[in-house]
Amino acid sequence: FLEGDSNRLARSAGMAVANKPGGTSFNPLLIFGGVGLGKTHIAHAIGVEIKDKYPEKTVLYISAEKFTQQYIESVKKNTRNDFIHFYQLIDVLIIDDVQFFSGKSGTQDVFFHIFNHLHQNGKQVILTSDKAPVDMQDIEQRLLSRFKWGLSAELQTPDFETRVSIVKNKLYRDGVEMPDDIVEYVAKNIKSNVRELEGAIISLIAQSSFNKKEVTIDLAKQVVEKFVKNTKREVSIDYIQKVVSDYFQMDVSTLQSKTRKRHIVQARQLAMFFAKKFTKASLASIGSQIGKRDHATVLHACKTVDNLSSTDKQFRKYVEDLTKKLSL
């Protein structure tokens, strides 16, 4: 697992835990971060390292989803106590994607008891999640406070240097040589996560070996383009407001103002419509960012845009033009 600024804390804590499972203050160790940044990878690495150092310890890696399924089975078969007992005997418990427990009170309850038992007996618990404990929804307070006992370490998107070293490491492991300018081109253009970065490199290697082509910067451009196109940019609400304002030749401040002039109202409604379409933001947060309106206004805006695009030709053209601009 390569170290960089984006993952140094998580990696160092992982090393400390692997050296002394249950014997550090990092218990539980909660590693959180976005998709494809290496949460599962680092959790596995810690598990493997502990097994190497302490072969006599029982280490179990399980996804939260699987844990939940096992628990449901145990309830059906009336073996809930065996289920709890099994987990209480483990020395190092690694649970992946713990945000999956949200809203499942039975699973949370049983995990709470297992967790307490392991923690009191000096066993190590390692959790991964796609959110920080603060942002986890529908997880009981008593569990959340336990998640905060140890250390929460975030994995961030790797910076350019780290991306270059990941690419070089991948090529080295596959025994492939590639010119530095191409390595840097790929690393510079694929910023989203490590999984996509490695995917692009595998694509490049495959392209060149199947088509007996030299890996050139042009080939790299083609491969990278496919990857960057597939991962649609998460468009921000600010960006949407800017694009809509530019399209109608007005300032963003005009767009957000309280005025009821028809063309400005329409522009504002379009901005709300696209914010709902292209972002994961809630109606309330869209409204508050576009001129401090409430969620009902946003809902009304979306309906108006739908109605107008089916009846008004000119308006439909606005929608089509803006959709093109925003999906570039």
Contact in structure between 270 and 244 (CB atoms under 8 Å)? yes
DSSP 103: T
Alpha helices in the chain (DSSP H): 8-19, 39-53, 64-76, 80-88, 105-120, 141-147, 160-173, 180-189, 194-210, 217-230, 237-247, 252-256, 262-278, 283-289, 295-311, 313-327
| Mean pLDDT value across residues 121-138 | 91
Final residue before a domain boundary, out of 230, 250, 270: 230
Residue linked to tokens 């097994």: 51
Specify if 114 maps to a domain: yes
Same domain, 78 and 203: no
Tally of CA atoms within 13 A in the half-sphere of 326 that contains its CB: 29
Position 326 confidence tier, pLDDT thresholds 50, 70, 90: confident
In angstroms, the CA 114 to CA 99 distance is 17
Phi, psi (deg, nearest 5) at residue 16: -65, -45
Phi, psi (deg, nearest 5) at residue 30: -110, 120
CA proximity to 17, closest of 40, 42, 50:
50
Specify if 2 maps to a domain: no
Q: What is the pLDDT of residues 175-218, one digit of tens each?
A: 888 889 999 999 998 887 898 899 999 998 888 888 777 888 88
Position 2 confidence tier, pLDDT thresholds 50, 70, 90: confident
Final residue before a domain boundary, out of 94, 123, 155: 155
Same domain, 64 and 97: yes
Final residue before a domain boundary, out of 185, 209, 230: 230
